C-alpha cells in the first residue's frame, strides 16, 4: 500500500521545507532507501575520526546526531501508530536537546548505534507496511498541530534528510 504524499495541513508547517526534499509519494519506499543510505554512511565512518566530533562548539557530536535520529524515529513511529489506531488523545511534543543531554551516546560504540538504527528502522518499516489506505489518511493532534499518519511518515523522512545534509555539509562526512 503506497502512502501517497501528504498535503499541507497533514504535518507541521515548520516541516514543509524538509518534507519537500523527500522524493516520490511512497513513505515506505523513501524510508527504506534512506535507511540503507544512512546505515552505509555510518558504516563508512571511523570510530576514532568521529569521536566527540562537532562542527561547532555546543553542537551535537556525530554519535549524538545518530542517537537523535533513533530517538526521533521512535517518537514519530509511536505518533503514527496512535493516529493510525484512531487514538483521539493529543500527543505531546518532546525537547530533542533534553533527550540528547539525558544520555551519553558518545560512550557507545559506533557499531552499537548503527545496529540500533537498523533495528528501529526495520520496526518502523514493518509498522508502515501493515497500514491500510484508510489508516494512512487518519489524522490526529501531534504536538499541537494536526497530522496524518502519512504526514508523520514523511516528516520522519524529511527530518532524516535534514540531518543527512547537515552531516555532509557541516561535519564533512
Q: Which helix (H) or strand (E) holds 145?
A: strand 145-148
pTM across the whole model: 0.96
- Note whether residue 1 is domain-resident: no
User: Whole-angstrom distance between the N-terminal and C-terminal Cα of the chain?
Assistant: 34
Q: State the pLDDT at residue 109.
A: 97
The per-residue pLDDT for range 73-106, each reduced to its tens digit, is 999 999 999 999 999 999 999 999 999 999 999 9
Q: State the pLDDT at residue 126.
A: 98
Q: What percent of the chain has pLDDT above 90?
A: 99
- Note whether residue 125 is domain-resident: yes
pLDDT at 62 over 90: yes
| Distance from C-alpha of 17 to C-alpha of 170, rounded to nearest angstrom | 19
Q: How far is CA 158 from CA 7, 46, 70, in A?
A: 14, 26, 14
- Evaluate whether 77 touches 153 at the Cβ level (below 8 Å): no
Q: Which helix (H) or strand (E) holds 139?
A: strand 139-142
The per-residue pLDDT for range 114-143, each reduced to its tens digit, is 999 999 999 999 999 999 999 999 999 999
The per-residue pLDDT for range 144-168, each reduced to its tens digit, is 999 999 999 999 999 999 999 999 9
pLDDT at 37 over 90: yes
- For the chain, percent helix, then strand, then coil, each to nearest 5? 60, 5, 35
Could you tell me the pLDDT band of residue 1, with boundaries at 50, 70 and 90? confident
How many domains does the chain contain in total?
A: 1
- Note whether residue 8 is domain-resident: no
The per-residue pLDDT for range 12-26, each reduced to its tens digit, is 999 999 999 999 999
CATH at residue 77: 1.20.120.450
- Strand, coil or helix: 84: helix
- Note whether residue 7 is domain-resident: no
Q: Quick one: average pLDDT of 60-68?
A: 98
- Note whether residue 55 is domain-resident: yes
Nearest to 105 by CA among 119, 91, 121, 117: 117
Domain that holds residue 95: 13-169
Q: Quick one: average pLDDT of 35-46?
A: 96
Amino acid at each position: 500500500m503506497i502512502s501517497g504524499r501528504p498535503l499541507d495541513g497533514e504535518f507541521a508547517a515548520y516541516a514543509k521545507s524538509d518534507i519537500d526534499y523527500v522524493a516520490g509519494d511512497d513513505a515506505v519506499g523513501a524510508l527504506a532507501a534512506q535507511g540503507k543510505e544512512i546505515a552505509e554512511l555510518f558504516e563508512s565512518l571511523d570510530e576514532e575520526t568521529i569521536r566527540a566530533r562537532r562542527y561547532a562548539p555546543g553542537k551535537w557530536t556525530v554519535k549524538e546526531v545518530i542517537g537523535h535520529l533513533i530517538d526521533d524515529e521512535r517518537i514519530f513511529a509511536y505518533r503514527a501508530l496512535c493516529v493510525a489506531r484512531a487514538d483521539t488523545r493529543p500527543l505531546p511534543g518532546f525537547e530533542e536537546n533534553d533527550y540528547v543531554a539525558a544520555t551519553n551516546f558518545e560512550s557507545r560504540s559506533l557499531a552499537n548505534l548503527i545496529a540500533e538504527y537498523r533495528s528501529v528502522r526495520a520496526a518502523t518499516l514493518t509498522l508502515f507496511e501493515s497500514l491500510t489506505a484508510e489508516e494512512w489518511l487518519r489524522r490526529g493532534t501531534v504536538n499541537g498541530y494536526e497530522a496524518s499518519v502519512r504526514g508523520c511518515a514523511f516528516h520522519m523522512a524529511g527530518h532524516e534528510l535534514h540531518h543527512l545534509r547537515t552531516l555532509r555539509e557541516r561535519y564533512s562526512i
